[in-house]
């Protein structure tokens, strides 16, 4: 297994799928000649040419709709939306066309598109370039939402998303493209549904996804070494559908829950996970679940304010200690 | 168009008109729910363009005033009516309704309810044709008001940039819902707006099918020859309101009468009679036969068809799970 960076994992998935199937194409702003803002499509323009690696005008609604229309005829477009903040402009097409086409055509048409987008707060990018929007996508019938926390997932989720006949939104993170990790040398398909235990534990479950998995893993390390608390970390790589069975299994084992998300709390992943716990295993709980989340503010530019708005592993540790009456 | 084709098209247009009028009646009787947008007055647009194109072969997409476009592409009127009745035998299995008629087998790619939404979808269909190397073209029928959406401009730009085989047909019926074009749009003649994207465009009378056909032929040939997109504006008029809830208080009955003097069906009928190709009695027979067909077959089929089963409520939200197992579980062979 090779150690590669997350952007390289995404690039490899593109390359393999485009070389296998001439109807797999990719499009987005600066993805071709420039190689992609995050290098995720590096070298593809030279290899597959402008008909299949399309540098688009800055028209998110337009090119997203164009990709969806092409997918009606069996084309498998991978659309990169440079920043998830720009996805608002494409949501009409994603939600009204891609997500609903199978249903409103009575199963006659489908939109097997992949929409990839970088979200999350990076470094002082301000209010209009720092959004987390997974909560918006995961509430839409007909759309799958996945979010990788490491290069292996980034590679395998994209491979599966391209093959799947449903539209899939892949929520990436601006700060994670250079993260290194092991990716299988052979072809690998990550499941689009489910969750995975990133670290086994017995005393408390820390639910995370994408970047917050890493806060949870770091917090688990601290809790173990400094406080003798054994935390289980569950990686919710599938946000729609959420893994009800996986959530229930872990909560039934640890009986305590912290959900960590970079998004703001209202109407978010944490709310959904708590609702699922209520429905599936409420009486397994020994304490009320706790959410760790962003402040409900447009992301501030000022470095100190930005840091204050976004949680990290220390907030996860604090939440667990509070749950155990140690803080 | 040859005389025999004209006679066939006249019969089709009568079906289109009577079908829509029968929908009106069924809506009043509450057999049809939701919103209903009817086409009478504009028949020469769809028919003239599609006679110049290849129905069932070329891909067609449109907005919510979509029944006639679907039927013209080859959809069975019985299934379209059953869809309006919300039945399992409907063209979209009762899940779509009036605004979402689909017939993929006949390359009718649907009716969409977001004004302007089909623009980029049409360009995408054209992109797929381009990638696959087929000789089909994509035809996007929309109204004038759709051109005030941002995706109109985004799509024209991309279609021109990538020389996509797409024909944009603007059925300019002078009103966007209840607002006249003079009150909503700085440029009334829509074909002038596309000059900015270096797309060839044309405008003609949308009431006279012979004129529409002649202009559409040039437009279709241009696109099919691989020259990239074309924009054809047809000046037309819808007799009824935007939808059933519209009492047309924003325009005068006198204006409506002026347009009805140039009715697309009656103009074609009179031309055929003058040419000696048919008699008034022949026309009356067509009307009678059409009404009998609609009543005895179309309405009967819709009335007698079953409702969708409630157990199937969530069917078609996502692809059938069995077929997707390798990707859902990661256990690919």
Residue A327 above 80 pLDDT?
no
Q: Which of residues 125-154 of A touch B (CB under 8 A)?
A: 141-142, 144
> Is there a single domain that holds both residue A179 and residue A201?
no
Return the closest-CA partner of residue B142 out of B243, B18, B264, B42: B42
Q: CB distance B319–A164 less than 8 Å?
A: yes
Q: For residue B219, give how far its alpha carbon lies from the nearest alpha carbon of chain A (Å).
A: 22
Instruction: Give kind and range of the element (H or E) at residue A4.
Output: strand A2-5
Pick from B93, B114, B124: CB nearest A68: B124
> Is there a single domain that holds both residue A217 and residue A164?
no
In a domain, A155, yes or no: yes
> Is there a single domain that holds both residue A61 and residue A149?
yes
> The domain that contains A244 carries what CATH number?
3.40.50.920
Which tokens is B161 given?
A: 């940039």
> Is there a single domain that holds both residue A215 and residue A279?
yes
Q: CB distance B122–A69 less than 8 Å?
A: yes
Instruction: Give kind and range of the element (H or E) at residue B266.
Output: helix B264-274
Strand, helix or coil for residue B172: strand
> Is there a single domain that holds both residue A174 and residue A201?
no
CB atoms within 10 A of CB A9: 30
In a domain, A190, yes or no: no
Per-residue model confidence (pLDDT) at position B332? 81
Per-residue model confidence (pLDDT) at position B213? 98
> The domain that contains A99 carries what CATH number?
3.40.50.970
Which tokens is B112 given?
A: 């969409």
Instruction: Say yes or no: B119 contacts chain A, CB-CB below 8 A.
Output: yes
Instruction: Say yes or no: A68 contacts chain B, CB-CB below 8 A.
Output: yes
Instruction: Say yes or no: B110 contacts chain A, CB-CB below 8 A.
Output: yes
Pick from B59, B158, B317: CB nearest A142: B317
Instruction: Output the CA–CA distances (angstroms, integers) from residue B221 to B3, B130, B136, B216, B227, in the order listed.
Output: 22, 16, 11, 8, 9
Q: Are B118 and B61 in contact (CB under 8 A)?
A: yes
Looking at residues A49-61, what average pLDDT do you find?
98
CB atoms within 10 A of CB B104: 18
Tally of structural domains, chain A? 2
Q: Are B75 and B103 in contact (CB under 8 A)?
A: yes
Identify the domain boundary among A160, A183, A206: A183
Q: For residue B287, give how far its alpha carbon lies from the nearest alpha carbon of chain A (Å).
A: 32
In a domain, A156, yes or no: yes
Name A56's Cβ contacts closer than 8 Å, sequence gap at least 6.
Answer: A27, A28, A29, A62, A63, B158
Name the residue range of residue A287's domain.
196-323
| Interval A129-182: pLDDT, tens | 999 999 999 999 999 999 999 999 999 999 999 999 999 999 999 999 999 999
| Interval A243-281: pLDDT, tens | 999 999 999 999 999 999 999 999 999 999 999 999 999
Strands A204-208 and A257-264: parallel
| pLDDT level of residue B333 (50, 70, 90 thresholds) | low
> Is there a single domain that holds both residue A174 and residue A58?
yes
First-last CA distance in chain B: 55
Which 8-state DSSP code applies to residue B103? B
Instruction: Say yes or no: B235 contacts chain A, CB-CB below 8 A.
Output: no
Instruction: Say yes or no: A186 contacts chain B, CB-CB below 8 A.
Output: no
Strand, helix or coil for residue B200: coil
In a domain, A305, yes or no: yes
Pick from B91, B100, B330: CB nearest A160: B330
> Is there a single domain that holds both residue A206 and residue A170?
no
Looking at residues A191-195, what average pLDDT do you find?
98
For residues B140 and B241, which has the higher predicted lDDT (pLDDT)?
B140
In a domain, A74, yes or no: yes
> Is there a single domain that holds both residue A36 and residue A163?
yes
In a domain, A24, yes or no: yes
In a domain, A147, yes or no: yes
β partners of residue A171 = A117
Q: Which of residues 155-184 of A touch B (CB under 8 A)?
A: 156, 160-161, 163-166
Instruction: Say yes or no: A191 contacts chain B, CB-CB below 8 A.
Output: yes
Q: For residue A37, give how far its alpha carbon lies from the nearest alpha carbon of chain B (Å).
A: 21
Per-residue model confidence (pLDDT) at position B244? 85
Return the closest-CA partner of residue A77 out of B141, B315, B121, B156: B121
Pick from A104, A109, A190: CB nearest B330: A190
> Is there a single domain that holds both residue A30 and residue A105?
yes
Looking up tokens 């977001």 gives B114
| Interval B218-274: pLDDT, tens | 999 999 999 999 999 999 999 998 888 888 999 999 999 999 999 999 999 999 999
Pick from B59, B155, B327: CB nearest A192: B327
Per-residue model confidence (pLDDT) at position B265? 98
Looking at residues B61-80, what average pLDDT do you find?
98
A129 counts as catalytic: yes
Q: Which of residues 131-170 of B touch A (CB under 8 A)?
A: 131-132, 150-151, 154-155, 157-158, 161-162
> Is there a single domain that holds both residue A28 and residue A177?
yes
Identify the domain boundary among A128, A158, A183: A183
Instruction: Give kind and range of the element (H or E) at residue B77.
Output: helix B77-84
Identify the domain boundary among A127, A152, A183: A183
Q: What is the largest CA-CA distance in chain A?
A: 60
| pLDDT level of residue A68 (50, 70, 90 thresholds) | very high
Catalytic member of A8, A17, A60, A134: A60
> Is there a single domain that holds both residue A254 and residue A289?
yes
Domains and CATH numbers, chain B: 3-329 (3.40.50.970)
Report the complex ipTM. 0.97
In a domain, A188, yes or no: no
Which tokens is A271 given?
A: 């709310």
Measured CA to CA, the distance from residue A74 to residue B16 in angstroms comes to: 32
Q: Angle CA(A183)–CA(A143)–CA(A237) in degrees, nearest 5?
A: 35
CB atoms within 10 A of CB A50: 11
Please report, to the nearest 10 degrees, the dihedral formed by the alpha carbons of residues A310, A311, A312, A318 taken in order: 160
Q: Which residues of B touch A73 (CB under 8 A)?
A: 59, 125, 128-129, 132
| Interval B187-216: pLDDT, tens | 999 999 999 999 999 999 999 999 999 999
Chain A residue whose CA is closest to B151:
A62
Instruction: Say yes or no: A315 contacts chain B, CB-CB below 8 A.
Output: no
| Interval B71-130: pLDDT, tens | 999 999 999 999 999 999 999 999 999 999 999 999 999 999 999 999 999 999 999 999
A60 counts as catalytic: yes
Chain B residue whose CA is closest to A160:
B327
| pLDDT level of residue A213 (50, 70, 90 thresholds) | very high
Instruction: Say yes or no: B333 contacts chain A, CB-CB below 8 A.
Output: no
Per-residue model confidence (pLDDT) at position B189? 94
> Is there a single domain that holds both residue A20 and residue A168?
yes
């Amino acid at each position: 297994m090779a150690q590669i960076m997350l952007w390289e994992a995404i690039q490899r998935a593109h390359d393999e799928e485009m070389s296998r199937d001439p109807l797999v194409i990719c499009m987005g702003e600066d993805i071709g000649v420039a190689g992609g803002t995050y290098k995720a499509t590096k070298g593809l323009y030279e290899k597959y040419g402008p008909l299949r690696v399309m540098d688009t005008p800055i028209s998110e609604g337009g090119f997203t709709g164009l990709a969806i229309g092409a997918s009606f005829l069996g084309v498998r477009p991978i659309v990169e939306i440079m920043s998830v903040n720009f996805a608002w402009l494409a949501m009409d097409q994603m939600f009204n066309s891609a997500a609903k086409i199978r249903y409103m055509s009575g199963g006659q048409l489908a939109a097997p598109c992949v929409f990839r987008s970088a979200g999350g707060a990076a470094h002082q990018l301000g209010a209009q370039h720092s959004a987390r929007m997974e909560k918006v996508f995961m509430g839409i019938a007909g759309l799958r939402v996945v979010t990788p926390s490491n290069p292996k997932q980034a590679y395998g989720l994209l491979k599966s998303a391209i093959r799947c006949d449903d539209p899939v939104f892949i929520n990436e993170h601006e700060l994670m493209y250079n993260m290194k990790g092991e990716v299988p040398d052979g072809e690998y398909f990550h499941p689009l549904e489910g969750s995975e235990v990133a670290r086994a534990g017995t005393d408390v479950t820390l639910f995370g996804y994408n970047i917050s998995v890493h806060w949870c893993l770091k917090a688990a390390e601290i809790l173990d070494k400094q406080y003798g608390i054994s935390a289980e970390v569950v990686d919710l790589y599938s946000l729609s559908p959420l893994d009800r069975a996986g959530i229930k299994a872990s909560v039934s084992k640890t009986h305590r829950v912290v959900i960590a998300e970079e998004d703001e709390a209202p109407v978010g992943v944490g709310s959904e996970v708590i609702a699922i716990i209520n429905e599936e295993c409420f009486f397994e709980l020994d304490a009320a679940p706790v959410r760790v989340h962003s402040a409900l503010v447009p992301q501030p530019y000022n470095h100190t304010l930005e840091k204050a708005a976004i949680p990290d592993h220390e907030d996860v540790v604090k939440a667990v200690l509070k749950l155990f009456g140690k803080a | 168009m040859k005389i025999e084709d004209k006679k066939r098209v006249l019969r089709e247009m009568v079906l289109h008109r009577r079908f829509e009028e029968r929908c009106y009646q069924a809506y009043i009787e509450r057999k049809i729910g939701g919103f209903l947008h009817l086409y009478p007055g504009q028949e020469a647009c769809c028919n003239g363009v599609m006679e110049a194109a290849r129905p069932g072969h070329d891909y067609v997409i449109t907005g919510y005033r979509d029944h006639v476009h679907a039927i013209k592409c080859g959809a069975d009127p019985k299934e379209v009516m059953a869809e309006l009745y919300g039945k399992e035998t409907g063209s979209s299995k009762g899940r779509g309704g009036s605004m979402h008629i689909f017939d993929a087998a006949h390359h009718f790619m649907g009716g969409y309810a977001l004004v302007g939404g089909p623009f980029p979808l049409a360009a995408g269909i054209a992109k797929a044709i381009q990638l696959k190397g087929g000789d089909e073209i994509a035809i996007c029928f929309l109204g004038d008001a759709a051109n005030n959406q941002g995706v109109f401009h985004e799509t024209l730009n991309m279609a021109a940039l990538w020389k996509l085989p797409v024909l944009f047909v603007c059925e300019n019926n002078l009103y966007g819902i209840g607002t006249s074009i003079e009150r909503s749009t700085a440029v009334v003649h829509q074909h002038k707006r596309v000059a900015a994207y270096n797309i060839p465009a044309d405008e003609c009378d949308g009431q006279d099918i012979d004129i529409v056909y002649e202009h559409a032929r040039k437009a279709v040939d241009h696109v099919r020859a691989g020259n990239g997109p074309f924009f054809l504006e047809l000046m037309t008029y819808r007799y009824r309101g935007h939808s059933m809830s519209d009492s047309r208080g924003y325009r005068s009955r006198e204006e409506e009468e002026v347009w009805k003097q140039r009715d697309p069906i009656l103009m074609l009928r009179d031309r055929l009679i003058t040419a000696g190709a048919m008699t008034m009695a022949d026309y009356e027979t067509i009307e009678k036969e059409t009404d009998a067909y609609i009543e005895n077959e179309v309405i009967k089929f819709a009335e007698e068809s079953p409702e969708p089963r409630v157990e199937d409520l969530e069917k078609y939200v996502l692809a059938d799970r069995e077929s997707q197992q390798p990707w859902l579980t990661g256990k690919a062979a």
